[in-house]
């Protein structure tokens, strides 16, 4: 089974029995979100008003927290119908990887292959990495009990190192500023290549890295809180490509759950989001068509009518647009759990949902764990209803 909060395969047969603080707090938030009272005439009153606003709009943005394949498909079809801009990477984490991959290519590996075949794991980040994905060490532990090496680079505490040791790894730690990691690895590689005969004097760590037949480098885009993170990823990918000239080295680039939308959008349009439809045809620009750039563009004339469609099928109690500065005259259509107009169920919690795991290599169905209210519908249902003329 898959836990949509840890984004990892769980060993337990029943996710309700898994001790996961993020899951428990999310299920508590379900009750808080259901405090509104639905209007009995909501469909007959709200749908026509929303459709009229969409038809008369000169610019439309579709954004939010889309976690399921079903909603992602409906959101792309909705955007094509209304020639809208669509960008559902909430903080742009996944695009840190995507922009770099588009420029440098990708030598990637799945979590299962990294677990079963890697001799050395190089994990880059800090303690927030395990706060984000607490089951990562156990998911990467070799099932046959072989003790493999994990090199933690960045700012990890003794508590984080202990978790990796408990999972069965031989743990090494090298403190380093995150933005300097790609350069440090490149310098190490050049030194080791030119000093192989005397490598033993550099210590067992260099020896392990130099002689490892299969190295996996893991980082989380959400954990890279550094300036120009896409350039950081690009340099890392270039180093990984160079290592493949003499040995096997691959990236395990973790992402947040908005990766499901990026995958589906790429299937349907050829682009991972940040697109605007013109006559039903998508145009891609990762800078101009981000939701932040769209919201930053102020209307200069009353003839411009902007409509913002916010979709949120997550369990977050924090409104998606809480920190956004919206113009007073902007028409907002909310398809969210706490919306009084178009209240939606939460994917993987109240309704079954197809999702990609955060390593983007596995698609599976997440079964519901909470009974949905009878007066809620899926986000995909509302988008399809809004698309009908």
Contact between 179 and 227 under an 8 Å Cβ cutoff? The reply is: yes
Is the predicted pLDDT of residue 250 greater than 60, yes or no? yes
Mean pLDDT, residues 278-288 taken together? 92
pLDDT score at 197: 47
pLDDT band at 196 (very low <50, low <70, confident <90, very high): very low
Q: Concatenated DSSP letters for 73-136?
A: HHHHHHHHHHT-EE---SSSHHHHHHHHHHHH---B--HHHHHHH-SEEEEEEETHHHHH-TTH
From CA 375, how far away is CA 191, in angstroms rounded?
A: 65
Match 């759990």 to its residue by tokens: 337
pLDDT above 90: percentage of residues in the chain: 33
Q: Are residues 355 and 239 in the same domain?
A: no
Overall average pLDDT of the 64-76 stretch: 93
Do 287 and 239 belong to one domain? no
Same-domain status, 282 and 340:
yes
Give whole-number Cα distances, 202 to 151, 212, 218, in Å. 16, 16, 24
Neighbouring C-beta atoms of residue 329, cutoff 10 Å: 10
Mean pLDDT across 362-368: 77
Residues 116 and 198 in one domain: yes
Q: Give the domain-ending residue among 254, 286, 303.
A: 254
Residue 17 domain-assigned? no
Supply the DSSP string of 185-239, one letter for each residue: HHHHHHHHHH-GGGGGGG-HHHHHHHH-SEEEEEEEGGG--STTHHHHHHHHHHH
Q: Is residue 236 part of a domain?
A: yes
Summarize pLDDT for 184-193 with one digit per residue, the tens: 888 776 665 5
Owner of token pair 């891609």: 284
pLDDT of residue 199: 39
Length of the chain counted residue by residue: 389
**Rounded mean pLDDT, 330-346:** 87
Q: Is residue 27 part of a domain?
A: no
Q: Look at residue 37 and tell me whether its pLDDT is greater than 80.
A: no
Q: Which of 254, 269, 293 is the last residue of a domain?
A: 254
- pLDDT of 237 higher than 90: yes
Give the domain range for residue 226. 95-254
Same domain (yes/no): 285, 163: no
Q: Is the pLDDT of residue 356 over 90?
A: no
Do residue 184 and residue 240 come from a single domain? yes
Q: Is residue 22 part of a domain?
A: no
Query: Would you say residue 71 lies in a domain?
Result: yes
Pick the last residue of a domain from 223, 254, 285. 254
Total number of domains constituting the chain: 2
Bridge partners (DSSP) of residue 69 are none
Whether 284 has a pLDDT exceeding 80, the answer reads yes
Mean pLDDT of 249-263: 85
Beta bridge partners of 108: 251
Residue 257 CA to residue 68 CA, distance in Å, equals 9
More confident residue, 180 or 132: 180
Q: From CA 111, how far away is CA 326, in angstroms rounded?
A: 40
Both 161 and 309 in one domain: the answer is no
Chain centroid to CA 185:
26
Q: What is the pLDDT of residue 249?
A: 93
Looking at the fold, whether 244 and 168 belong to one and the same domain comes out as yes
Q: For residue 11, is it within any domain?
A: no
Residues 196 and 295 in one domain: no
Co-location of 232 and 361 in the same domain:
no
Rounded to the nearest integer, the mean pLDDT of the chain is 82
In order of 21, 24, 348, 373, the CA distances from 16 in angstroms are 12, 9, 12, 19
Q: What is the pLDDT of residue 95?
A: 84
User: Do 381 and 283 belong to one domain?
Assistant: yes
Domain assignment present for residue 56? The answer is yes
CA-to-CA distance for 138 and 18, rounded, in angstroms?
Answer: 14
38 in a domain, yes or no? no
DSSP class of 321: T
pLDDT at 280 over 50: yes
């Amino acid at each position: 089974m898959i836990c949509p909060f840890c984004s990892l395969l769980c060993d337990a047969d029943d996710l309700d029995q898994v001790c996961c603080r993020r899951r428990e707090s999310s299920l508590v938030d379900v009750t808080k979100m259901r405090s509104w009272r639905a209007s009995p005439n909501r469909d007959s009153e709200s749908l026509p008003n929303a459709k009229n606003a969409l038809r008369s709009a000169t610019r439309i943005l579709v954004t939010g927290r889309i976690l399921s394949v079903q909603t992602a498909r409906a959101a792309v079809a909705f955007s094509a119908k209304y020639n809208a801009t669509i960008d559902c990477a909430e903080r742009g984490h996944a695009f840190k990887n995507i922009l770099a991959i588009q420029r440098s290519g990708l030598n990637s590996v799945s979590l299962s292959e990294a677990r079963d075949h890697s001799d050395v794991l190089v994990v880059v980040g800090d303690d927030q990495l395990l706060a984000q994905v607490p089951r990562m060490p156990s998911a990467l532990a070799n099932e046959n009990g072989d003790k493999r090496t994990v090199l933690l680079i960045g700012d990890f505490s003794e508590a984080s190192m202990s978790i990796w040791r408990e999972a069965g790894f031989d743990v090494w730690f090298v403190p380093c500023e995150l933005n300097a990691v790609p350069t440090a690895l490149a310098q190490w590689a050049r030194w080791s290549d030119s000093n192989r005969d005397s490598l033993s004097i550099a210590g067992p760590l260099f020896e392990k890295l130099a002689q490892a037949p299969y190295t996996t480098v893991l980082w989380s885009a959400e954990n890279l809180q550094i300036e120009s993170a896409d350039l950081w990823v690009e340099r890392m990918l270039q180093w990984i490509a160079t290592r493949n000239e003499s040995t096997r080295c691959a990236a395990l680039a973790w992402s947040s759950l908005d990766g499901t939308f990026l995958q589906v959008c790429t299937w349907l349009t050829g682009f991972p989001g940040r697109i605007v439809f013109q006559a039903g045809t998508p145009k891609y620009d990762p800078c101009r068509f981000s939701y932040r750039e769209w919201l930053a563009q102020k209307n200069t004339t009353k003839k411009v009518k902007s409509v913002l469609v916010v979709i949120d099928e997550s369990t977050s109690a924090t409104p998606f647009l809480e920190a956004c500065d919206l113009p007073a005259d902007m028409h907002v259509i909310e398809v969210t759990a706490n919306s009084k107009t178009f209240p939606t169920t939460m994917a993987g919690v109240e309704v079954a949902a197809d999702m990609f795991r955060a390593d983007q290599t596995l698609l599976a169905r997440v079964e519901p764990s909470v009974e949905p209210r009878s007066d809620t519908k899926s986000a995909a249902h509302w988008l399809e209803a809004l698309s009908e003329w």
